[in-house]
Amino acid sequence: MKKILLLFSLLCGALTANAQDKLSYLLQTIDVTAYPNCTFEVRGQLLIEGKSKNGGAVACAVTSLDAKTIKPYFNKYGMESYKLGVWTPVSVSGAIDNQANKLSVGMFFSGRGKYYFDDFELIIKSKNKTVSIPLGNSGFENDSLKPWYVTNFKDVSNIRLTTENFKSGQQSLLIDNSLAESDEYGENTKRGKYAPVNGIRLYYEIYGAGEPLLLLHGNNMSIASFNRQIPELAKKYQVIALDSRGQGNSSADSARLTYELFADDAAAFLDFLGIDSAHVLGWSDGGNIGLLLAMEHPRKVKKLASMAAVLYNDNTSISPKLNALLRKQLAEMKDKGVAEADMNYRLKNLLLTEPHIQPDSLTKVTVPVLVMAGEDDIVKREHTALIARKLPESTLKIFRKAGHEAPKEVTEEFNRAVMDFFAGGN
């Protein structure tokens, strides 16, 4: 059992690099010695209440005969992709090689939220047949959780059987992390606050002291995107990390999403904090918002560092393959019954239909701008150069051996470039 627990602890650690130290998990181990070179699929039902960025995953690990080789598998989609309050199928699949003898099935959790599980099953397939392997207490109908092994850190989570929600039978498994404390960026329970702005609630966290520096993240992302920038920036600045409307922990209304609307939100947010002007760092969508903030609310911006922004979306600015993929994803969402009012749909559609910034209008930006992109960015090099050329006072920085994720791929170089820019003379 100790080897199995170590195995799953290693698996959890591998999949949750930014998670809390205390991981709650539940697992069951099955002997698969009789199924070499077969494939497996673990299926279950999941219902989520609440919202969390790092709420956990359904995971499996195949262990070799000598217990020295571990092959982890986990569900394809993160917990944030599941619709709240609805029972949804979840699955994990993988391969059992001829050196494997154990399959560990389980769930692990570190973020906030309430997660209900029910109706687990294990299917093993070979060339000739498909076998259903019984899992003990797979529907959580027994009064005891055995034969599942459970960790239950009371200060992090509460794992129990419940009749509150169930897919079938009369009860399910509840992993309740709704009251868990977190110090993760974007989920910091001590620093996180809300600002009432333009009829919605914007979530934000503040770190460090000094001149204010506003961070604006990318499409359908959150404050957590800047987890490699905040510690460095907070050494010199009062870093104000904001979740844009409808993303992260911020709310939204039915207003049509435009980057002008996001910029208006940012300006009103700074007013709420009593900040006349701030340095601004925007990445991807955040870069678009930063440009519009400097154009439409010029007094709010001291300097702008813009990473991988676009003025408009066409074949001269973005890869046609990316736009084709976005259209395909939207079509798939419709086929699955996702409403156009769904925030995930609205945000993906935003990428195709916005922004609409005329290049010559960038002359309205009167502050220094650091224009950045990766040499392998999804934003075309010519478009990034156009933005830099049209701005009255700009510096162009292209990160070698990096793409759209340059803040994570070349963190040290990116942070140094941003810090040097903000520290330089006007």
Neighbours of 234 (CB within 10 A): 17
pLDDT of residue 110: 60
pLDDT of residue 419: 98
Burial 313-352 (b: 16+ CB within 10 A, else e): beeebbeeeebeebeeebeebeeeeeeeeeebbbbbbbbe
Low-confidence residues of the chain, pLDDT below 70?
Answer: 1-24, 51-82, 108-111, 152-156, 180, 425-426
Q: Which domains does the chain have, with CATH numbers?
A: 2-176 (2.60.120), 193-423 (3.40.50.1820)
pLDDT of residue 97: 83
What is the Cα–Cα distance from 290 to 310, expressed in whole angstroms?
11
- 253-274: per-residue pLDDT in tens? 999 999 999 999 999 999 999 9
What is the Cα–Cα distance from 174 to 159, expressed in whole angstroms?
6
pLDDT of residue 21: 42
Burial tier of 304 (Cβ tally within 10 Å: 0-12, 13-18, 19+): buried
- Integer-rounded Cα Rg, in Å, for the chain is 24
- 354-370: per-residue pLDDT in tens? 999 999 999 999 999 99
What is the Cα–Cα distance from 96 to 92, expressed in whole angstroms?
13
What is the Cα–Cα distance from 323 to 29, expressed in whole angstroms?
43
Q: Which amino acid type is present at position 110?
A: S
**Structure token digits, residue 57:** 């995953």
pLDDT of residue 65: 58
